[in-house]
Amino acid sequence: MCGIIGVVGKNPVNQLLYDGLLVLQHRGQDAAGIVTCDGNTFYMHKNNGLVQDVFQTRHMRSLQGNAGIAHVRYPTAGSSSAAEAQPFYVNSPFGIVLGHNGNLTNSTQLKEEMFRQDLRHINTSSDSEVLLNVLAHEIEHTAHSAVLNSDMIFEAVAGVHKRCLGAYAVVAMVANFGLLAFRDPNGIRPLVIGKSETEKGVEYIVASESVALDVLGFKLVRDVEPGEAIFIDMDGNFFSRQCAEKPKLSPCIFEYVYLARPDSVIDKVSVYQTRLHMGVSLAKKIAKEWGDLHIDVVIPIPDTSRPSALQLANALNLTYREGFIKNRYIGRTFIMPGQALRKKSVRQKLNPIGMEFKGKNVLLVDDSIVRGTTSKQIVQMARDAGANKVYFASAAPPVRFPNVYGIDMPTRDELLATGRTDQQICEEIGADALIYQDLDALIEAVQLSNPDIKMFDCSCFDGNYVTGDIDETYLNNVESARGDKLGHKKPANSSTQLDLNLVTIKEYEEAV
């Protein structure tokens, strides 16, 4: 899961990109990067860390130009080294920078093709750099050394769709030519288009979530369709084309459960409204199947579960209370790299209000249970605060399968629900009862806002992978590679990529 933004404006865009990344910080806290374009020159700064720490005033001043792209990273493929912060750059042809949200499922095969057929060198272990080089090769093939135009760009994206499998929402920029954005043929990862009317003309933006458009003063136009590419030249002319042969909208349902901000609208679905619906359906299940539970109070585990918990309490006519105070200066534990760091951060992140727990039968509501690390500690915190009984409700079904499309759920060994019954999971987290949302109910909760979505990627819940290329061998290879990575961590200075911070790419080319 990452956050991407691209802007073609009439004024310098460095501040717009920075402010947009702040809004999308929840999608990645590992690294951040911005590239701006001024004529034939790219200006880049990227590094590990939060947006506010990566970019200082001196960095912002160096990011010149009226167009650019930006990225916040949460690593699911590759490493966490600063060299793998995005955007990535390649100088042939024309000069291209790219930011990517998602995960390619055939990146190993593509790397081999890049080396042996396309004669391109991949400098990092990131699948995003693979995607950049595939795009660059396809543009080179379609352009035939001629003057580039939008038709050639769209033909190149069609070539990318034929070669790349998996999930990818992409923003890219071709030097002195324009901004390109496209979405994989299944539309697994989100991407929206916005525009703003200014005195100097129309400005365009593409971003992972509509909330970035709201904050930056852009009006949401629509979503980028699955398989579609949009291109905006440096004069602000807008072009779009369907570039996939058989596109089908199958968005990742976990975006609505946890990943996206509640104030975003993705594929015409309000994330907030979906989470309200999730609470209602969960309340119906509790009333039908768990009517013997005596619940004194419903308490959400902040922040994502609040809408679901509130609607659940209202539907069951139960008292709703805030029982945990969150330290807002601690990041999202689900996307923190490393199990030890997650364990340590839960106690730093949440502190219970004793009076809401003491002597009560408490129903805790969370958006989902993935590894169970957080759930187990929170149940114990509730008991330590004096709760009589601790019941636990998940607004999502049990996560039993790896996610291979850009969410850090890569191995079955790390998932609490894999190979366990609901009762075993309940015992593992120490709860007195455990209630899961049904998958059909979750799908219905999203479809209530947009009935036109007929299919979702629910692979982490049901093991059905919409790209059709995932089998047991693939999952075993992913798990083996992850085990090697966790057991043999590379030193932070092991990367061979040159540091492009605060230098122009023109200077970089001259240096090499």
Given a contact cutoff of 8 angstroms between Cβ atoms, the answer to whether 8 and 232 are in contact is yes
For residues 167 and 175, give the distance between their C-alpha atoms in angstroms, rounded to a whole number: 25
Indicate the burial class of 471 (C-beta count within 10 angstroms; 0-12, 13-18, 19 or more): exposed
For residues 432 and 177, give the distance between their C-alpha atoms in angstroms, rounded to a whole number: 61
Q: Is residue 304 a known part of a binding site? A: yes
Task: Tell me how far CA of residue 208 lies from CA of 27, 187, 194, in angstroms.
Answer: 9, 12, 11
Q: Is residue 366 a known part of a binding site? A: yes
Task: Tell me how far CA of residue 395 lies from CA of 21, 260, 278, 406, 461, in angstroms.
Answer: 28, 15, 6, 21, 13
Give the SS3 label for residue 172: strand
Instruction: Mark 246-266 as b/e (b = at least 16 C-beta within 10 Å).
Output: ebebbbbbbbbbbbbbbebbb
Helical pair 150-163 and 127-143, crossing angle rounded to 10 deg: 130
Per the structure block, which two tokens stand in for 473? 């061998």
Q: Is residue 367 a known part of a binding site? A: yes
Per the structure block, which two tokens stand in for 285? 């299940």
The yes-or-no answer on residue 2 being catalytic is: yes
Per the structure block, which two tokens stand in for 316? 């069951």
Residues that constitute the known binding site: 304, 366-367
Residues that constitute the known binding site for Mg(2+): 304, 366-367
Enumerate the active-site residues.
2
